[in-house]
Every structure is written in structure tokens, then in C-alpha cells.
Amino acid sequence: MDRARNIYNSGLDRRPANFTPLSPIGFLARAARAFPDHTAVIAGERRFTYRQFRERCHRLASALALRGIGRGDTVAVLAPNVPAMLEAHFAVPMAGAVINTINTRLDAANIGFILDHGEAKAFLVDAELAPVAAEALKVARAKPLVVRIDDPAVSPSDFGDIEYEALLAEGDPSFTPVPVADEWDAIALNYTSGTTGDPKGVVFSHRATYLNALSNLPSFRIAPNPVYLWTLPMFHCNGWCFTWSITAAAGTHVCLRRLDPATVFDLIERHGVNHACGAPVVLNLLLHAAEITKTRPSRTVDFVVGGAPPPAALLEKMERLNFRITHGYGLTETLGPSSVCDWHSEWNEKPVIERAALMARQGVPTYGIEDLTVVDPVTMAPVPADGQTLGEIVVRGSTIMSGYLKNAPTTGAAFAQGWFHTGDLAVMHPDGYVEIRDRAKDIIISGGENISSLEVEGVLYRHPAVLEAAVVARPDARWGEHPCAFIALKPGESADAATIIAWCRTNLAHFKVPRTVVFGPLPKTATGKVQKHLLRERARAL
């Protein structure tokens, strides 16, 4: 086409009035304007309206700016789901800076590495985490401004340069946020542990977070003014962007310092919670507690499960507990949700087992994703939509990370051939829905046959005595590898290896049946993911 002849190519340029950088910061301005007196935050006895929430964010942004923190600076936060953590999601970018939330279960060495690698200029630390933060600061070269976040639930200390509320008092409640210069500018830095070597710093743009936050609303059926319980750590991909999504919808953020099932059920009833998110382990925890205490929420809670493939048996039980589950899938690099198992109303007619199996699939792209599909990792050709042929999930869209900080080679590899490579092995079903069969590294190859650890775990989860199960490859002289099952039993239940193996033989092809069964608690990451690399080491050492 001759560009010069195109009548749309002149006089129709981007201008300040029609091209505003996309940024989730504006969601707070909108909510505070439309719903100033609506409860924005509940944390124990503390409550903030949207007017107060905005003012506190303005104060923090202003105080950071007064201390010289601005564009391109990193502000690290080590805190559970407390108001300051939420406020930082708006205040830090309002100062032009980049928010770096840190996994609260990391050790001092890892935290120190992150402070140095991200070059943190400020470090907000919940008082409860002061000891590990102090250790981290000893090993780190970075010398950030250290801000202690006190909390009524934590005994006072004198850690840090200043207490959070004192810092807020320095700031201006009518501060004007630093304008976003370019929507591609960084807003968030999230370290992912990966499985090898040092953590990688995943960088997100204002554009990506805006689009993912907005996309979450229709993708997860969030109506205006939701009441959202923070069962998912905010340090996890910025709470899958729900920090910004729930604010966009002028919702109520119900904070949660730690995941105690009794507290969760109490908060659901007390505040009329209707939305929450978390990994399958969260559901497991709630389910187990509910079975003991015979608790059942009196209203339906919309729960987005993700972070690991949920066993169908678990989904089935949560439905009876009045949780309406939506299954999302994503990685830190996709800012949380990049696919959703969109529900078909006609599936409601199916038996609960079938419904749960349909729901356990990772599904189709969210509204914010351009494409998510399954390809042959070598040829990049789409696998046939037969529900059988294994390939790698690849993703493309404007909600994907900008890249890994200071790590061009790994960034380049992750984005090879125009797609983000997830490393998850999956099949494409005939109906266009993706289903993960395994992480590339978790697949078990026995006698030349691929065995999905997830499939075996799904069978184990259906056994009445099993609380949690994880299956990994164990070296096998004859078969190369064989499935090795690690099982945590429900309190008060008992089962031995023979029982478990017999159960599996009834429900699985024989070559998929674990030949080794180990009982005991499973090692987990901060986000509740089972640490299979540790189990693999154990299996090798058996």
C-alpha cells in the first residue's frame, strides 16, 4: 500500500487528549471520585474509605518523592497482605518508581540478593519480618531507606529508619502523581525463584498491568464493588493484578496477615466476601478445616484458583462448600492469569466429576491475551487439537513481561520466535481448551512412555485418606525412570504403600502406577507450590 495515498495518515496524530499512557494508577483516582465514602480497605479493626486510601497513597508517594525517590528507582516491599502493601501498589508508581514485592518466605541471602540486584532505594518491611530483613540488609550492598510497617498484631520494635505512619505524616495528601512518561515504563519488578540459580527479576510495564487488571474483571466475572479477601499473597505477581483490579471495580480489600482457615471463614461471613484467589493448596486448607468444623459459607464465594493445576477431586468438593471456582492459569512472567477455563452453561448439566474434569483444564486466553496455544517446541507448529499430542504452551500479548532485569540472554531465550515460552507441557483439546499435562521438567519417562505426574496425582487425590500428593521421577535401572509418590495423609487417616498402589492400579494404566510411595509432609514454596526439585532429590537418594 502506498502510505502517502492513505487518507488516514495525516492530521490524526496522538495528542495529550486522545493518547494517555495506560496505567493502573488511574483506577484509584476513578474509584475515589465515584465512591469516596465506600470502604476500600479492611484490616482487623482498621478501615479506610476510598478517600482515605487515596490520601494515604498520595502521602506515601509524596514522602518518597521528598526523599529523592523517583523515576526508575526501585522500592522493595517485604510484607504480608497488610494495608501498606496494597498502598505501595499505587503510591510507589505515583512517585514514578517501581514496586518490587518480595516473597515473605525467602531467606536473608535471597532477600539480600534481590535488594542488590533491583538496586532498591527504599525498603518497606512489616515489623514481623524485621529479623530476616535485618539479616538481609547485613549481607546486601544496597543501603535503602528502611521503613518499618508497624501493625496492631505485631509487637513493636525499633527496626529501620522510620515507621510507615511517620513516613506518611511527612507526605502531602493532595500530592499530584508523577505523570507516566511512557506506558512502556516499568511499574513492577517481581522475582521468580525458577528452579536453577539466582532469582530472575521480571519487569512489567504500566501498559501490561493496566490491561491485565482491566482484563481480570470480565475474565473472572467481577461485578462492581466486590468484597475481596486477600487469601493470595500480594507479593505473588502483585496478587495476580487484583491489587489494581479490585480497586478499579471500587471493591473492598479485606486484608489477611496469614492464611488461617477459621479467620478466613469468619471474614467471609462478617464482611460478605464474594471474591478470593489462591493456589489449590489454599482450597485444600480451607476444605480440610471446613470438613472438621462443618463450616460452609452462607453465600457463594467466587474463587479463582491458579498457580498450579487443581485436582478435579478438589474442585468437586469446593463446589459443595459454596465456592464457585474459576480456573485461571499463568506464570509470574504473564503477570498471573493468561488463560481462563471459560465456563459453558450447558456444562452445568453434567455430573459433578465431569464438571470438575472440564474445570481442571487451563482453558482459553484471558481477554487481555492475544493468543495462547500449544506448539511443538522445535518446529513451533501448533499440535493437533486431539487432547493427546503433547506440546509447549506459548503465549503472546500485551500483558506479558517486558523482560528479565539485567538479563538479556534469558530474556531473549524466553521470547524466541515471537512467543513467550512457558515451559509447561500441555495438550490442545478439540474444543480449543488447553490442558497442562506437566511442567517440562516434571514429566516422567518410563520405558520410553511419557507419564504425566499430574494425572497420577489426580488419582491419588481421589483416595479418601490422601490430603496432598506429589509424584516425581525416580531413577530406575530397568525403565529409566518410574513414578515415585510423596503423600501427606489427612490427620487421623491411615494408609500404607500397598493400599495406595492397589488404588492406582484400579484407576491408572499399569505403567503409570507409582512403584515407590513415601509418606510425610510435602515441602512447599511460599505460594504453596510443592517443591518438586526437593522431592526429586529425595527420590534419587532413596
Residues 208-267 that bind a second copy (CB under 8 A): 208, 211, 214-215, 217-218, 221-225, 248-250
Q: Between residues 387 and 447, which has the closer beta carbon with respect to a second copy?
A: 387
Among 5, 138, 478, 510, binds a second copy (CB under 8 A): 5
Which window, 56-64, 362-370, 374-382, 531-539, contacts a second copy (CB under 8 A)? 362-370
Among 116, 319, 342, 481, binds a second copy (CB under 8 A): 342
Among 299, 320, 344, 505, binds a second copy (CB under 8 A): 344
Q: Between residues 30 and 299, which has the closer beta carbon with respect to a second copy?
A: 30
Burial class (CB in 10 A: 0-12, 13-18, 19+), 366: buried
Q: How far apart are alpha carbons 374 and 376 in whole angstroms?
A: 7
Q: Between residues 26 and 458, which has the closer beta carbon with respect to a second copy?
A: 26
CB of 32 to a second copy, least distance (A): 9
User: Please, which of residues 411-470 interact with a second copy by CB under 8 A?
Assistant: 411, 415, 418-420, 431-433
Which window, 18-26, 144-152, 298-306, 459-467, contacts a second copy (CB under 8 A)? 18-26
Among 93, 336, 397, 528, binds a second copy (CB under 8 A): 397
Written as one letter, the residue type at 453 is S
CB of 73 to a second copy, least distance (A): 8
x/- site string to a second copy, residues 94 to 133, per CB under 8 A? Answer: --x-x-------------------xx--------------
**Alpha-carbon separation of residue 218 from 43, 215, 542 (angstroms):** 27, 6, 48
User: Please, which of residues 260-319 interact with a second copy by CB under 8 A?
Assistant: none
CB of 147 to a second copy, least distance (A): 21
**Alpha-carbon separation of residue 398 from 22, 162, 212, 247 (angstroms):** 12, 38, 8, 21
Query: Any idea which residue has 476510598 for its cell?
Result: 50
Note whether 174 binds a second copy by CB under 8 A.
Answer: no
Q: Strands 252-254 and 200-205, how do they pair?
A: unpaired
CB of 395 to a second copy, least distance (A): 7
Burial class (CB in 10 A: 0-12, 13-18, 19+), 168: buried
To the nearest 10°, report the CA torsion of 426, 313, 337, 78: -120
Which window, 1-9, 296-304, 312-320, 352-360, contacts a second copy (CB under 8 A)? 1-9
Note whether 367 binds a second copy by CB under 8 A.
Answer: yes
- Strand partners of residue 330: 337
- Is residue 63 within 8 A of residue 97, CB to CB? The reply is no
Q: Between residues 179 and 521, which has the closer beta carbon with respect to a second copy?
A: 179
Note whether 378 binds a second copy by CB under 8 A.
Answer: no
**Alpha-carbon separation of residue 255 from 273, 284, 289, 486 (angstroms):** 11, 20, 20, 33
Note whether 186 binds a second copy by CB under 8 A.
Answer: yes
- Is residue 260 within 8 A of residue 215, CB to CB? The reply is no
Q: Between residues 23 and 453, which has the closer beta carbon with respect to a second copy?
A: 23
- Is residue 352 within 8 A of residue 319, CB to CB? The reply is yes
User: Please, which of residues 25-84 interact with a second copy by CB under 8 A?
Assistant: 26-27, 29-30, 33-36, 38, 70-72, 74
CB of 328 to a second copy, least distance (A): 14
Note whether 24 binds a second copy by CB under 8 A.
Answer: no
Q: Which residues contact 179 (CB under 8 A, 6 or more apart)?
A: none
| Backbone φ, ψ for residue 424 (5° rounding) | -95, 135
Among 396, 429, 441, 538, binds a second copy (CB under 8 A): 396
- Strand partners of residue 401: none
State how far Cα 172 lies from the chain centre. 33
Written as one letter, the residue type at 422 is T
Burial class (CB in 10 A: 0-12, 13-18, 19+), 437: buried
CB of 426 to a second copy, least distance (A): 15
CB of 216 to a second copy, least distance (A): 10
Report helix, strand or coil for 283.
helix
